Amino acid sequence: MTSTTRSSPEENNYKGWRGIKRAFATPSALTMLCLGFGSGLPFFLVGMTLSTWLRDTGVALSVIGLVSYASFFYVLKFLWAPLIDRYPLPFLGRRKGWLAFSQVLLIVALTGMALTGPESSLILFVALVGLTAFAGATQDIVVDAYRIEIAPVESQAALAATYILGYRLGLIISGAIALYMAELIGWTNAYLVMAASVFLPLIAGLLSKEPPVQALTVRDISVWNAFIKPFQEFFSRNGLWLALALLAFVGLFKLPDQMIGVLAGPFYLDSGYTKADIATVAKLYGVWIGIAGAFLGGISIAAFGLRWMLVVATIAVSISNIAFLLMAHYPAEAWAFFAAISADNLSQGFAGVVLVAFMSSLTNRNFTATQYALLASLANLPGKFIGGLSGYIVEASSYSTFFILSSISVVPTLLLLMWIWHRIQDNQQQ
């Protein structure tokens, strides 16, 4: 991999704690806050909040696990990311055009979910879930590319913290607020409000500046340069074996957390907690703990470097899953719920910033959307496969066994990190 070059004075201004404060003071930080909100909003609406809705209407755990495959667009977004990188829409600009398209589509799909519901036609409802996931994944592609293109590598940890703050606020709305609304005014009205909430990032995107990008030629938008060259460049820059190891490491990094994700809502209900309890603890209190973890991650990267924080984050995500055993052994106990959610969300917030900063450092800015989409897709792929089968695993054993299995799934990730440790040293610009 290429060695680190000497930083310019402007780039040095983004380093350390002063760099984080400088990044937060820019207009781009406010834009990323709103766009992060938009990215976080649909995630629970096709994930945990959706699974809670399905369970609340009597759908079996095994079916809920299979329905989660409708959100597979989040792990396949690298397939159409080259279109977004190389084929601008005929309005607003390359980034802003695709951003507006995805957000309008998201509003339409969420409205369709609200008005259909799983009770009337489960097949149609799942199709709308898939459309929502496609729109949300497309929005993510554009937002990730925008974030990387508006600032140098050294500021990515700070902007990642800003983005994740907005992302977590989106999770509060689509998690806690949606569950409160479902309890008070029903699921249909709750999802209609979620659809209306997308107008905030839509307006922010329309008011934002189009990031400066190199002008595209006819050659740039050829099939080779659009679909093949981004992947060829990644492998040639890193070498075959290191490139494969990096992709595998990114893919396994969030596995312990993702294994639990799809069954979290049903587990809370089965443990004796109400939808209001889940909203208060998991989706309100927990999200703020996640925000604290995100800022802790950004500060820690600035203070101690990215490589060591990869170690801390990997172990933290694994250990936090053990905390769910408290809820399994002490059902309906408030203290167990708070303890498990504290451990889980603090580690998730911390690890999220670390992973975003690491993936950002691996991308070539000539292929921002495509390469980052590939990495982000891989970060969700293994968990999506296993998460879809998680209902069967729990039904064949128990929740406690499942949590233990999810925790020890970190072992391959740690082995990969040991192998790539010295090989990524020259590439990590901190």
Q: What is the CATH number of the domain that holds 41?
A: 1.20.1250.20
What DSSP assignment string belongs to 44-95?
HHTTHHHHHHHHHTT--HHHHHHHGGGGGHHHHGGGTHHHHHH---SSS-HH
- Give the pLDDT of residue 195: 96
- Which of 14-23, 270-279, 374-383 is predicted with the least confidence, judged by mean pLDDT? 14-23
Q: Which domain holds residue 406?
A: 11-420
Does residue 76 lie within any of the structural domains?
Answer: yes
- Give the pLDDT of residue 428: 42
- Give the pLDDT of residue 2: 38
* Of 14 and 420, the one with more pLDDT: 420
SS3 content of the chain, % helix, strand, coil (to 5): 80, 0, 20
The answer to whether 339 touches 326, Cβ cutoff 8 Å, is yes
- Give the pLDDT of residue 215: 55
- Give the pLDDT of residue 104: 96
Q: What is the mean pLDDT of residues 403-412?
A: 87
pLDDT at 220 over 60: no
φ, ψ for residue 5 (rounded to 5)? -95, 165
* CB contact set of 156 (below 8 Å; sequence gap of 6+): 147, 148, 356, 357, 360, 361
Quote the number of domains for the chain: 1
Could you tell me the pLDDT band of residue 155, with boundaries at 50, 70 and 90?
Answer: low
Tens-digit pLDDT profile for residues 326-350: 888 888 888 989 999 999 999 988 9
Could you tell me the pLDDT band of residue 356, with boundaries at 50, 70 and 90?
Answer: confident
Does residue 131 lie within any of the structural domains?
Answer: yes
Does residue 5 lie within any of the structural domains?
Answer: no
| pTM score, whole prediction | 0.70
pLDDT at 293 over 80: yes
What is the Cα gyration radius of the chain? 21
| Whole-number average pLDDT of the chain | 81
Does residue 194 lie within any of the structural domains?
Answer: yes
Does residue 4 lie within any of the structural domains?
Answer: no
Does residue 66 lie within any of the structural domains?
Answer: yes
- Give the pLDDT of residue 282: 82
pLDDT at 34 over 80: yes
pLDDT at 206 over 80: yes
Could you tell me the pLDDT band of residue 40, with boundaries at 50, 70 and 90?
Answer: very high
Could you tell me the pLDDT band of residue 307, with boundaries at 50, 70 and 90?
Answer: confident
Does residue 191 lie within any of the structural domains?
Answer: yes
- Give the pLDDT of residue 101: 94
Tens-digit pLDDT profile for residues 66-97: 777 777 788 788 888 888 877 788 777 778 88
Does residue 52 lie within any of the structural domains?
Answer: yes
- Give the pLDDT of residue 150: 74
Q: What is the mean pLDDT of residues 312-333?
A: 88
The answer to whether 30 touches 36, Cβ cutoff 8 Å, is no
Helix axes 229-238, 368-396, angle to 10 degrees: 80
